[in-house]
A and B are shown apart, each in its own frame.
Chain A
Amino acid sequence: EAAVTQSPRNKVAVTGGKVTLSCNQTNNHNNMYWYRQDTGHGLRLIHYSYVADSTEKGDIPDGYKASRPSQENFSLILELASLSQTAVYFCASSDRDWGYEQYFGPGTRLTVL
């Protein structure tokens, strides 16, 4: 069974603070993705990675950094959190390329105050 876990599941941060969201997958998948979910916008791609030590910008990368230190782990970093970054964040993985099924984690609800 494919498994993607995220931590923390809930996070409250202060404006201007640094936030790190973590994702781990045990699927042995090459690709990993970070999405944010907002009402009215659906799922929007922030960053993705095809291989360890390399990340790519997605559709809405501004204000976010990503890190892929190993095949299993993929982090999303908000250096200076802002109110507009309040959302639910999902990590996903897929085998080889985009055309394969993406397996999503349970999400992290981030509230920036």
Chain B
Amino acid sequence: GDSVTQTEGQVALSEEDFLTIHCNYSASGYPTLFWYVQYPGEGPQLLFRASRDKEKGSSRGFEATYDKGTTSFHLRKASVQESDSAVYYCAPYTNKVVFGTGTRLQVLP
């Protein structure tokens, strides 16, 4: 079945640091790729998605580019803020959505 690997379980950064969260997927066919974000005390919410190779998804300063060659969809942000502290989930979709284990981002002021 489909699977997804998020390398970083936890990331601690200072404000204005550059963020990369790695996501690699294994899926049959041509999956749609999602990033979800979960703020403390809330349910996950969609950050953005991408459906085609080389497509860039973006929202709130975050971005990720669909790379079918390396089966990756790494999340990046140039300058993080304390309000970005949350858990981030990568999730490929073919016949159903599979969520990764999540990456907890803590941004220190």
A residues within 8 Å of B by Cβ?
4, 35, 40-45, 48, 90, 92, 98-99, 101-107
Assembly CA distance A42 to B49 (angstroms): 19
B residues within 8 Å of A by Cβ?
9, 32, 36, 41-46, 49, 89, 93, 95-97, 99-102
Contacts of A48 in B (CB 8 A): 96
Q: How many A-B contacts are there with CB distance less than 8 Å?
A: 43
Q: Of the candidates B36, B45, B93, which one forms a contact with A98 in the assembled complex, judged by CB atoms under 8 Å apart?
A: B93
Instruction: Determine whether the beta carbon of B32 is less than 8 Å from that of A104.
Output: no
Assembly CA distance A106 to B32 (angstroms): 25
Contacts of B96 in A (CB 8 A): 45, 48, 98
Instruction: Determine whether the beta carbon of B97 is less than 8 Å from that of A104.
Output: no
Instruction: Determine whether the beta carbon of A90 is less than 8 Å from that of B43.
Output: yes
Instruction: Determine whether the beta carbon of A106 is less than 8 Å from that of B102.
Output: no
Most chain-A Cβ atoms within 10 A of its Cβ — which of B43, B93, B96? B43
Instruction: Determine whether the beta carbon of A99 is less than 8 Å from that of B101.
Output: no
